């Protein structure tokens, strides 16, 4: 696998919000790929962007628009990761 360096700046953080918003309700592999990537880069995102992603998940969950059951599981995983991260439980990887 080729490795590249991506700046973890404001634009990167915003792009993760855009990716989450695109993937919510998609019912494709985009959901698991997006969730896993965001979970991996969570420590590099701005607090406000993490809050936006979390709020979007909660709203979509309450409106039953997260996707199929496997997608719901993925989003609940990310929601829990964000909660743990916010609580300081997630160790730096």
The pLDDT, as a whole number, for residue 74 is 98
The pLDDT, as a whole number, for residue 93 is 46
The pLDDT, as a whole number, for residue 2 is 83
The pLDDT, as a whole number, for residue 82 is 97
Low-confidence stretches of the chain (pLDDT < 70) are 89-93
The pLDDT, as a whole number, for residue 89 is 61
Count of C-beta atoms within a 10 Å radius of residue 77: 14
Sequence spans of domains, the chain: 10-86
């Amino acid at each position: 696998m080729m490795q590249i360096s991506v700046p973890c700046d404001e634009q990167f953080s915003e792009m993760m919000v855009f990716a989450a918003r695109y993937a919510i309700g998609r019912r494709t592999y985009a959901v698991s790929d997006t969730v896993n990537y965001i979970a991996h880069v969570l420590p590099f995102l701005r607090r406000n962007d993490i809050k936006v992603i979390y709020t979007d998940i909660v709203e979509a969950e309450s409106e039953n628009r997260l996707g199929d059951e496997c997608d719901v599981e993925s989003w609940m995983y990310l929601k829990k990761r964000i909660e743990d991260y916010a609580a300081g439980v997630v160790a730096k990887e």
